[in-house]
A and B are shown apart, each in its own frame.
Chain A
C-alpha cells in the first residue's frame, strides 16, 4: 500500500505507511476490522495535519512529528510501581497486553483476542476526517484491554492500566464499560524508555447512575511522541471525574472527547501540565452537552518553563435540547521563562437558550510582590518560587480528595520543580 499525496511525504508519513503495509499480515482482525483499518488509512493518506487544519492549528503535526521509529517488539519493558498502593495492575508492554486476573464484578479481555472476532469494528470507528489520532491508532492497534464493570459493582481496588514501552512504536486501545450504578477508579499510566511513537485510545461508556474517577498520568521520556485520545459517554445521572497530568514527552497530544447524552450527567476535568525543555504539549477537549440538566467544570493549570510550548483547546457544545446546562471552563498558566509559551483556545457553541456557560483564561508570571514577601522571610528564591508554583496548582490537586493520590502527585510536582524550577 502506498500513500499518494500532492506534496512529498515526510519521513514520518512514509514510516507510518510502511508500518501499516509491513504489519498488515500480523495485525489481528476480522474483515470488518480490516475495512475500518483501510478507512483509517485513507485519512492518513492525505498526510498528517498542518496548522491549516483548524483543530491542529497550534500543533502542526506534520512539522512536529517528523520522524517515526521502526517497530521493535524485541524488548521487554518493565512495568512501573502502581500509583495507589494495592491497585490491580494491568500492563500493556510494547503493544502487548499481559494476561490478568480480574477482581469480582470486573471482566477483562485482551484486545488482541477480540479483534479477530468481528465484534469490535464499531469501536474502532474514527470521529471524522480530522481524527488523526484515532486513525493512526485504528490503522495500527495491536493490543490493549476490554474491561467491563458489572451493574451495581463497587470496585474498591483501583485499576491501573499501564502502557509501557522501551522504544519503537506502540499502539494500544482500552475499551471500558461501566454498568449501571457501579463505582470504580481507573489510573492510566503512559511511560517508557527510549525514542518512540505511542498512540493510545481509551473509550469509556458509563451507564446510568455510575460514578467513575479516571486519572491519566503521562510521563514519557523527552524523545517520545505521544498521541492520546480519551473518549467518554456519560449516561443519565452518571458522574465522571477525569484528572490528567502531563509531565514529559517531546510531542504530546492528549485529546478528550466527552459526550453527555444522559439527563443529569456530570463531568469534571482537572488538568495539570508541567512543561519544560522543548516539549510541545497539546490538550484538546471537545465536550458535548446533549441532554438537559447536564453539568460540567473544566479546570486546567499549566506551568511552562524553558522553551516549552503548551496548548489547550476547549470546545463546549450545548445542543438545542440541552436546557439548564451548566458548564464552566478555565485555563490558567504560569510562565516561568522568557521563551516558554502557552496558547489557549476556548470555544462555546450554544444552541439552547436557558444555560449557564462560561470560560476564562489567564497567562501570568510569578507575582514579584509575592516572591519578595516570601524571600523577605528568609525563604531562598528557588524555594519561594516552588511554594508559589505549588500554591498555583494546589487547588486542582487537592480537590482530588484522595490523600494517597494527592501526596503522590504533589511529589511528582516537587520532583519536577527540583529538576526544572
Chain B
C-alpha cells in the first residue's frame, strides 16, 4: 500500500537535509512501527507523507497504491485516504469543532463521490464515535482543540481518524503527553480501526505504546533513513539495549 523509495527531503526554507535515502514498504493490513531517537526524522517523515509544504523532496518517491503522491496537496492526499494524527494538534480559535468535523467529512465524501451527510446522520456518527473514545460531547462544542488537555487533543485526533475512515493512518507520537488510562483508550481506538484494507504507520519514541498497539513490523530510523527492520521483538531489543546499542550494531 505504501512504498517509500530512496526518499531524500530537506527543509524548504533553509535547505537542511532531514531524510537521507529512506526506504520503507508497508502492506495493506500491516501495522508498521517507526522508532528512532530524537532528530532522526520521524516527525518529518509524517509531515512529508501528509504533504506539508515546508519540506522539499529532492530525490526518490512515495508511492501509495502504486501511484506517486508527491504532486498532491494535503487535501488531495486526504481524499485518497491518507491521514496524519498529529503529535501536536493545532488549536484553531474561531473554528467550531463540530463545524470543522462536518466540513472535513463532507469534503472527503464529495471527493469520493458521495453525497454530503444530513445533519442528524452526522450527529449520530459523531456521537457514536465520541462515545467509544469516552469523549465528552461538550468538548466538541468548543473551538477546535482550544483549551483541550493533551489527552483530549489526542482523543480528538483518533475521533477524526474514525470519522474520516482513511486507508493509510500515520500516527505521530500519539502516546506523548498521555497518562496510562488515556493511552489505553487511545490504543483501543486505534486497534478497533485495524483492518485488512488499512495500513498504519505508528511513529513513537518509546516501546510503551507498542504494548498496546502491537506492530507487525518495526523499523528503526536514524539520521533520516531506516537502519534496521524487524518484527515486534526489535522494539523489545531497543527497550533493553537503547538506541545506541541497536543502532551501533546496525552500523
Distance of B234 from chain A, by nearest CB (Å) = 29
Q: Mark B236-248, 1 if CB is under 8 A from A, else 0.
A: 0000000000000
Check B90 against A378 for contact (C-beta < 8 Å). no
Residues of chain A lying within 8 A (CB to CB) of residue B111: 378
Q: How long is the Cα–Cα vector from A398 to B99 in the complex, in angstroms?
A: 15
Known A-B contacts A380-B75, A381-B73; the reply to A391 vs B95 at CB < 8 A is yes
Name B54's contact: one of A368, A381, A384, A393 (CB within 8 Å).
A368
Smallest Cβ-Cβ distance to A369: which chain B residue: B90
Q: How long is the Cα–Cα vector from A368 to B92 in the complex, in angstroms?
A: 12
Name B92's contact: one of A380, A391, A395 (CB within 8 Å).
A391
Residues of chain B lying within 8 A (CB to CB) of residue A368: 53-54
Q: How long is the Cα–Cα vector from A390 to B74 in the complex, in angstroms?
A: 21
Check B95 against A377 for contact (C-beta < 8 Å). no
Check B74 against A376 for contact (C-beta < 8 Å). yes
Known A-B contacts A372-B53, A388-B95, A391-B95; the reply to A377 vs B89 at CB < 8 A is no
Distance of B194 from chain A, by nearest CB (Å) = 21
Q: How long is the Cα–Cα vector from A394 to B92 in the complex, in angstroms?
A: 12
Residues of chain B lying within 8 A (CB to CB) of residue A388: 92, 94-95
Q: How many A-B residue pairs have CB under 8 A?
A: 75
Is residue B158 within 8 Å, beta carbon to beta carbon, of the partner chain? no
Check A378 against B75 for contact (C-beta < 8 Å). yes
Is residue B84 within 8 Å, beta carbon to beta carbon, of the partner chain? yes
Is residue B22 within 8 Å, beta carbon to beta carbon, of the partner chain? no
Interface centre among B53, B54, B104, B111 (most CB of A within 10 A): B104
Check B89 against A373 for contact (C-beta < 8 Å). yes
Q: Which of chain B's residues 73-88 have a Cβ closer than 8 Å to chain A?
A: 73-75, 77-79, 83-84, 86
Q: How long is the Cα–Cα vector from A393 to B95 in the complex, in angstroms?
A: 10
Distance of B218 from chain A, by nearest CB (Å) = 25
Known A-B contacts A368-B54, A372-B52, A373-B89; the reply to A378 vs B94 at CB < 8 A is no
Distance of A329 from chain B, by nearest CB (Å) = 20
Is residue A153 within 8 Å, beta carbon to beta carbon, of the partner chain? no
Name B100's contact: one of A369, A372, A374, A393 (CB within 8 Å).
A374
Known A-B contacts A373-B86, A374-B100, A379-B104; the reply to A391 vs B94 at CB < 8 A is yes
Distance of A173 from chain B, by nearest CB (Å) = 38
Q: Which of chain A's residues 353-412 have a Cβ closer than 8 Å to chain B?
A: 368-370, 372-381, 383-384, 387-388, 390-395
Residues of chain B lying within 8 A (CB to CB) of residue A394: 94
Residues of chain B lying within 8 A (CB to CB) of residue A393: 94
Check A379 against B103 for contact (C-beta < 8 Å). yes
Smallest Cβ-Cβ distance to A394: which chain B residue: B94
Q: How long is the Cα–Cα vector from A242 to B164 in the complex, in angstroms?
A: 43
Name B75's contact: one of A369, A381, A387, A392 (CB within 8 Å).
A381
Residues of chain A lying within 8 A (CB to CB) of residue B51: 375-376
Distance of A299 from chain B, by nearest CB (Å) = 14
Residues of chain B lying within 8 A (CB to CB) of residue A372: 50, 52-53, 74
Residues of chain A lying within 8 A (CB to CB) of residue B7: none
Distance of B160 from chain A, by nearest CB (Å) = 6
Q: Which of chain A's residues 29-78 have a Cβ closer than 8 Å to chain B?
A: none
Check A383 against B90 for contact (C-beta < 8 Å). no
Distance of B159 from chain A, by nearest CB (Å) = 11
Q: How long is the Cα–Cα vector from A204 to B175 in the complex, in angstroms?
A: 60
Is residue B93 within 8 Å, beta carbon to beta carbon, of the partner chain? yes
Distance of A157 from chain B, by nearest CB (Å) = 32
Name B104's contact: one of A378, A381, A391 (CB within 8 Å).
A378
Residues of chain A lying within 8 A (CB to CB) of residue B176: none
Check B92 against A370 for contact (C-beta < 8 Å). yes
Residues of chain A lying within 8 A (CB to CB) of residue B99: 387
Check A384 against B75 for contact (C-beta < 8 Å). yes
Distance of B201 from chain A, by nearest CB (Å) = 14
| Residues of chain B whose beta carbon lies under 8 Å from any beta carbon of chain A | 50-54, 73-75, 77-79, 83-84, 86, 89-90, 92-95, 99-100, 103-104, 107-108, 111, 143, 160, 164
Known: A377-B104, A387-B95. 14 other contacts (CB 8 A): A368-B54, A372-B50, A374-B100, A375-B75, A376-B50, A376-B75, A377-B78, A379-B107, A387-B99, A387-B103, A388-B95, A390-B95, A391-B94, A394-B94
Q: Can you pick out 19 interface pairs between chain A and chain B where the beta carbons lie within 8 Å of each other?
A: A368-B54, A369-B90, A372-B53, A373-B86, A375-B73, A375-B75, A376-B78, A376-B84, A377-B164, A378-B75, A379-B75, A379-B107, A383-B103, A383-B107, A387-B95, A390-B94, A390-B95, A391-B94, A391-B95
| Residues of chain A whose beta carbon lies under 8 Å from any beta carbon of chain B | 368-370, 372-381, 383-384, 387-388, 390-395
Lowest 5 CB-CB distances: which A-B pairs, in order?
Answer: A391-B94, A378-B78, A375-B74, A377-B104, A378-B108
